[in-house]
Amino acid sequence: MNLDFKNKMVNEFVDFSNKLNGQGSSRIHRIRELAFESFKKLDIPTMKEEEWRFTSLNFLTKNDFSFSHTQTDENLSSEDIEQFMIKDINANILVFINGIYSEKLSRISYPRDEIIVESFSTAEKRNAPNLIKHFASHAKYENNFFTAMNSAFAKDGVYINIPGGVYIDEPIHIMFITDSRKGAVLSNPHNVIIVGKCSQVKLIETYHTIGDNPAFTNMVSEIILDFATNVEFSKIQNDKGNSYYIGTTQVTQAKNSSFTSANLSLSGKFIRNNMTTVFTEENAEANLYGFYFMKNDDFIDNHTSIDHAVPNCNSNEFYKGILDDKSKAVFSGKVLVRPDAQKTNAYQTNKNILLTDDAKIHTKPQLEIYADDVKCSHGATTGYFDKEAMFYFKARGIDETMAKSLLLNAYASEIIEKIKISALRDDIKRQVAERLTVDDIYFCDVLGDVFENAGIKI
Amino acid sequence: MALLKIENLKTEINGNQILKGINLEVNEGEIHAIMGPNGSGKSTLANVLTGKEAYEVTGGSIEYMGKNLFDLNPEQRAWEGIFLAFQYPVEIPGVSNANFMKTAINEKRKFQGKPPIDAMEFLRMMREKAKLVEIEQKFLNRSVNEGFSGGEKKRNEIFQMAMLEPKLAILDETDSGLDIDALKIVANGVNKLSKANNAFIVITHYQRLLDYIIPDFVHVLYNGRIVKTGDKNLALELEEKGYEEIKQNAK
- The helix or strand, by DSSP H or E, that contains position A362, with its residue range, turns out to be strand A360-369
Would the CA dihedral through A397, A403, A405, A411 be positive or negative?
Answer: positive
**Residue pLDDT, tens place only, B105-124:** 999 999 999 999 998 999 99
Among A320, A386, A393, most B C-beta atoms within 10 A, so best to mutate, is A393
Chain B residues with CB inside 8 Å of A441's CB?
99, 103
Integer Cα distance of B92 and B147 in angstroms? 10
Among B99, B120, B159, most A C-beta atoms within 10 A, so best to mutate, is B99
Chain A residues with CB inside 8 Å of B137's CB?
458
SS3 B195: coil
Residues B4-250: name the CATH superfamily. Answer: P-loop containing nucleotide triphosphate hydrolases (3.40.50.300)
**Chain-chain contact of A388 with B123 (C-beta, under 8 angstroms):** no
Please name every residue paired with A117 in a beta bridge, in sequence order, or none if there are none.
Answer: A160
Higher pLDDT, B245 or A42: A42
Chain A contact for B251 (CB, 8 A cutoff): no
Integer Cα distance of A176 and A173 in angstroms? 10
Low-confidence ranges of chain A (pLDDT < 70): 1-3, 21-24, 68-71, 110-112, 384, 438-458
Q: What are the residues of chain A with a beta carbon less than 8 Å away from any beta carbon of chain B?
A: 386, 388-389, 391-392, 394-399, 402, 406-407, 409-411, 413-414, 439-444, 447-448, 450-451, 454, 456, 458
Among B73, B90, B146, most A C-beta atoms within 10 A, so best to mutate, is B90
- Count of A-B CB contacts under 8 Å: 93
Spatial contact of A264 and A430, defined as CB atoms under 8 Å apart: no
How many angstroms separate the Cα of B228 from the Cα of each of A281, B67, B208, B219, B235?
75, 27, 19, 6, 11
Q: What percentage of chain B reaches a pLDDT higher than 70?
A: 100
Chain A residues with CB inside 8 Å of B52's CB?
391
**Chain-chain contact of A392 with B89 (C-beta, under 8 angstroms):** yes
**Residue pLDDT, tens place only, B138-192:** 888 899 999 998 888 999 999 999 999 999 999 999 988 888 888 998 999 999 9
Q: How close, in Å, is residue A183 to chain B by CA atoms?
A: 44
SS3 A445: helix
Integer Cα distance of B216 and A218 in angstroms? 75
How buried is A103 (Cβ within 10 angstroms: 0-12 exposed, 13-18 middle, 19+ buried)?
middle
Tell which residue, B3, B44, B55, has the closest CA to residue B166: B3
SS3 A207: strand
A273 φ, ψ to 5°?
-105, 125
Give the closest of A389, A391, A441 to B74, CB-based. Answer: A391
Chain A residues with CB inside 8 Å of B107's CB?
397-399, 402
Which pLDDT score, from 0 to 100, does residue A69 have? 60
Nearest CA in chain B to A438: B103
What is the bridge-based pairing of β-strands A92-97 and A360-369?
Answer: unpaired
Spatial contact of B159 and B193, defined as CB atoms under 8 Å apart: no
**Chain-chain contact of A413 with B94 (C-beta, under 8 angstroms):** yes
Nearest CA in chain A to B49: A395
Integer Cα distance of A336 and B105 in angstroms? 51
Cβ neighbours of residue A38 closer than 8 Å, sequence gap 6 or more? A141, A142, A143, A148
**Residue pLDDT, tens place only, B188-215:** 999 999 999 999 999 998 889 999 999 9
Integer Cα distance of A447 and B156 in angstroms? 19
Spatial contact of B191 and B211, defined as CB atoms under 8 Å apart: no
Per the prediction, chain B carries an average pLDDT of 92
Chain A residues with CB inside 8 Å of B89's CB?
392
**Chain-chain contact of B100 with A410 (C-beta, under 8 angstroms):** no
Question: Given strand B199-204, what is the order of strands in its sheet?
Answer: B82-85, B168-172, B199-204, B31-35, B217-222, B225-230
Chain A contact for B139 (CB, 8 A cutoff): no
Considering only residues 87 to 126 of chain B, which have any Cβ-Cβ distance to chain A shorter than 8 Å? Answer: 89-90, 92-96, 98-100, 102-104, 107-108, 110-111, 116, 119-120, 123
A323 φ, ψ to 5°?
-115, 125
Which pLDDT score, from 0 to 100, does residue A112 have? 67
Q: How close, in Å, is residue A275 to chain B by CA atoms?
A: 27
**Chain-chain contact of A398 with B104 (C-beta, under 8 angstroms):** yes
**Chain-chain contact of B160 with A396 (C-beta, under 8 angstroms):** yes
Give the closest of A402, A410, A439 to B93, CB-based. Answer: A410
SS3 A85: coil
Cβ neighbours of residue A139 closer than 8 Å, sequence gap 6 or more? A147, A151, A220, A221, A222, A248, A250, A276
Q: What percentage of chain B reaches a pLDDT higher than 90?
A: 69
User: What is the arithmetic mean of pLDDT over B47-59?
Assistant: 91
How many angstroms separate the Cα of A98 from the Cα of each of A71, A117, A174?
8, 19, 13
